[in-house]
A and B are shown apart, each in its own frame.
Chain A
Amino acid sequence: MQHIFRVAEITRALKDVVEGQFPFVWVKGQVSNLARPASGHVYFSLKDEEALLNVVWFKGSQRGVALGEAERYDPLTGEVLEGDGGSGWLADGMEVLCAGRLTVYAPRGAYQLVAEYVQDMGLGKLALEFEALKRKLQEAGYFAQERKRPLPHNPVRVAVVTAATGAAIQDFLRVGSARGTGCEIRIHPVLVQGEAAPGQIGAALDAAGSDGWAQVTVLIRGGGSLEDLWAFNTEPVAHAVYRSPIPVLCGVGHEVDVTIADLVADVRAATPSHAAQVLWPERAVLAQRADELETALTRAFGRRLQAAGDRLGTLEKALAWLSPRGRVERMGEKLDDLSMRLLRAGAGLPLRRGEALDGLERRLWAFGAPRLAGFEGRLESLRQRLAAVGQRSLERADSRLTLLEAHLRGLDPELPLERGYSLVRRADGSFLRSTADAHPGDALEIRVRDGSVAARVTGVHRREP
């Protein structure tokens, strides 16, 4: 009695056989019936002359080795970013290599390949080698972040492994010449493509790292096809980069090219020019830093001087304020001011009514009293000085007066009368000074000590000259 299967049963059995027998397969063929629904999954058939295999490529698997697409990388670390590599390059008629699981899709009774990788056959072989080596080195820890060494800052001794001719070294030197603070570069010339290239590059890396001269090794090459860059995807180069005792900066090809050497290197630059940029700071930036520090220095010193100057000024003022001379001057000024105001106020007093007078008085006192109180001592001293000066002046005036009195006394017309002289005046009161003034018969008054005598001229005798 044969077992009668239900559809689901036989399908499940078939599924077990198929998926158990072919857990992972590589299949190559030509793409046809390509469909791209909005889901992002890609459906197509692989076919050759005799057969056809349905393939589903789920969106989540559309990444990795799709080398026809631009892989993305972090330009600072060189790390390749896992992400949607896309399936846009895929087209009907293309020869591709697919890798994935065979599975049975029960609802439709169909078997299909669930693709994990889809590769252009044109690139397939190299890509596979690349992937194989990448996976191997990855597992060996060649790409581990924790073994990446930082580049020396602004290095002054740099080894460069590259072709002595070509754009790479030219670009590197051109960009580098405007950067850093002066650097010696030693170029280790190597072939960068062809059979001999991997061995030469590896040997040069070893030489650059082992002679103890360089601070960093730079591995650069200009852009080219995947085949051109192939030397940088080989094991000898990867091992040499890995064992370099000094940091390795790798800049191979164009931005989109990521080689095994890039991944193993301590730092990845996108291009040879970029390698120079990564290696040295821009000279203009260094100059700016020096300028900024100089400005900061001048400013800080200026502030320091200013602070010292301010302190000196304060002390000077304090000293001037405290000096006796300053005090005397200030007091003198106050005294003058108060005296003037007192005089002005006093002069107006009789004209003012009582109220106004009171107000003025109050203001006067309000202003003057506190100040006056403070200057009493000084006032007293000045008063004393004034008195002393006055006293001396009086004494001088006194003696002068005595002198003048004596002098004056000598001029007194009465004084000779005491001594027996007499004073003769004519009738008109004028003194008789000459014989010419006297005529016989003129009446004269003769003053003597104790009175006067009336007389008349009886004769005139002129003394002959």
Chain B
Amino acid sequence: MSVDKNSFENNIERLQRIVEQLESGEPALEKGVDLYKEGMALAAACRKQLDKARLTVNKVTPEGVVPFTPGDGEEN
């Protein structure tokens, strides 16, 4: 239930850096191919993360943290 902290943000940041590296034209071709592969994998991972992104909603009660169902509360 714990979400990998900011992995989307990390992936996006890494992807950004790869694009910048490739755009600078610096890396050798073999290195460039590796970077490209890594970048494509990161983009796919990001998209997958977005597709799977959900809100997990729980409620804190005296008995502990329990799943929250809208409308089940007794409070106003």
Whether both chains belong to one complex is answered with yes
Sorted nearest first, the 9 A-B pairs with minimum C-beta distance are: A164-B73, A300-B22, A294-B43, A182-B53, A181-B8, A290-B46, A301-B36, A297-B39, A184-B56
Do residues A184 and B58 form an inter-chain contact, with CB atoms below 8 A?
yes
Do residues A290 and B19 form an inter-chain contact, with CB atoms below 8 A?
no
Q: Note all chain A residues with C-beta closer than 8 A to B39.
A: 293-294, 297, 301
Tell me if B's interface is mostly helix, strand, loop or mixed: mixed
Do residues B6 and A156 form an inter-chain contact, with CB atoms below 8 A?
yes
Rounded to whole angstroms, the CA-CA distance of A173 and B56 in the bound complex is 10
Proximity bits, A171-187, B CB within 8 Å = 1, else 0: 00100110011111111
Q: Note all chain B residues with C-beta closer than 8 A to A110.
A: none
B1, B47, B70: the one within 8 Å of A173 (CB): B70
Most interface-central of A159, A176, A293, A298 (chain B CB within 10 A): A293
Q: Is B23's CB within 8 Å of the partner chain A?
A: yes
Do residues A187 and B3 form an inter-chain contact, with CB atoms below 8 A?
no
A sample of 8 cross-chain residue pairs with beta-carbon separation below 8 angstroms, ordered by A number, consists of A163-B75, A164-B72, A187-B57, A191-B75, A193-B76, A291-B43, A294-B40, A297-B43
Q: Note all chain A residues with C-beta closer than 8 A to B1.
A: 184
Do residues A283 and B25 form an inter-chain contact, with CB atoms below 8 A?
no
Do residues B23 and A183 form an inter-chain contact, with CB atoms below 8 A?
no
Rounded to whole angstroms, the CA-CA distance of A192 and B47 in the bound complex is 39
Proximity bits, B1-13, A CB within 8 Å = 1, else 0: 1110110110010
Q: Note all chain B residues with C-beta closer than 8 A to A188.
A: 60
Q: Is A207's CB within 8 Å of the partner chain B?
A: yes
Rounded to whole angstroms, the CA-CA distance of A188 and B75 in the bound complex is 11
Q: Note all chain A residues with C-beta closer than 8 A to B32.
A: 301, 304-305
Proximity bits, A331-356, B CB within 8 Å = 1, else 0: 00000000000000000000000000
Do residues B9 and A153 form an inter-chain contact, with CB atoms below 8 A?
yes
Report the nearest A residue to B43, measured CB to CB: A294
Q: Note all chain A residues with C-beta closer than 8 A to B18.
A: 297
Do residues B60 and A293 form an inter-chain contact, with CB atoms below 8 A?
no
The chain A residues found within 8 Å of chain B, CB to CB, are: 153-154, 156-157, 159, 163-166, 169-170, 173, 176-177, 180-194, 207-208, 283, 286-287, 289-291, 293-294, 296-298, 300-301, 303-305, 307-308
A154, A185, A283, A301: the one within 8 Å of B58 (CB): A185
Do residues B55 and A183 form an inter-chain contact, with CB atoms below 8 A?
yes
Q: Note all chain A residues with C-beta closer than 8 A to B50.
A: 181, 283, 286-287, 290
Do residues B36 and A186 form an inter-chain contact, with CB atoms below 8 A?
no
Rounded to whole angstroms, the CA-CA distance of A177 and B59 in the bound complex is 17
**Quick one: which of B22-45 are within 8 Å of A by CB?**
22-23, 25, 27, 29, 32, 35-36, 39-40, 43
Do residues A164 and B59 form an inter-chain contact, with CB atoms below 8 A?
yes
Report the nearest B residue to A181, measured CB to CB: B8
B6, B19, B56, B72: the one within 8 Å of A293 (CB): B19
Report the nearest A residue to B4, measured CB to CB: A156
Do residues A297 and B71 form an inter-chain contact, with CB atoms below 8 A?
no
Do residues B68 and A286 form an inter-chain contact, with CB atoms below 8 A?
no
B52, B56, B59, B71: the one within 8 Å of A189 (CB): B59
Q: How many residues of B contact A (CB 8 A)?
A: 46
Instruction: Write the nearest CB–CB distance from A125 to chain B, whole angstroms.
Output: 24
Rounded to whole angstroms, the CA-CA distance of A307 and B28 in the bound complex is 11
Most interface-central of A164, A283, A303 (chain B CB within 10 A): A164
Do residues A296 and B19 form an inter-chain contact, with CB atoms below 8 A?
yes
Rounded to whole angstroms, the CA-CA distance of A298 and B35 in the bound complex is 11
Do residues B6 and A190 form an inter-chain contact, with CB atoms below 8 A?
no
B47, B49, B54, B71: the one within 8 Å of A177 (CB): B54
Do residues B3 and A156 form an inter-chain contact, with CB atoms below 8 A?
yes
Do residues B29 and A304 form an inter-chain contact, with CB atoms below 8 A?
yes
Most interface-central of A153, A194, A301 (chain B CB within 10 A): A301
Do residues B76 and A165 form an inter-chain contact, with CB atoms below 8 A?
yes
A154, A189, A308: the one within 8 Å of B8 (CB): A154
Do residues B76 and A187 form an inter-chain contact, with CB atoms below 8 A?
no
Instruction: Write the nearest CB–CB distance from A168 to chain B, whole angstroms.
Output: 11
Instruction: Write the nearest CB–CB distance from B32 to chain A, whole angstroms.
Output: 5
Q: Note all chain B residues with C-beta closer than 8 A to A296.
A: 19, 23
Q: Note all chain B residues with C-beta closer than 8 A to A297.
A: 15, 18-19, 22, 36, 39-40, 43
Do residues B47 and A290 form an inter-chain contact, with CB atoms below 8 A?
yes
Q: Note all chain A residues with C-beta closer than 8 A to B22.
A: 297, 300-301, 304
Instruction: Write the nearest CB–CB distance from B28 to chain A, whole angstroms.
Output: 9
Do residues B70 and A169 form an inter-chain contact, with CB atoms below 8 A?
yes
A191, A193, A293: the one within 8 Å of B15 (CB): A293
Rounded to whole angstroms, the CA-CA distance of A164 and B59 in the bound complex is 8
Do residues A183 and B56 form an inter-chain contact, with CB atoms below 8 A?
yes
Do residues A163 and B76 form an inter-chain contact, with CB atoms below 8 A?
yes
Report the nearest A residue to B13, measured CB to CB: A293
Q: Note all chain B residues with C-beta closer than 8 A to A301.
A: 22, 32, 35-36, 39
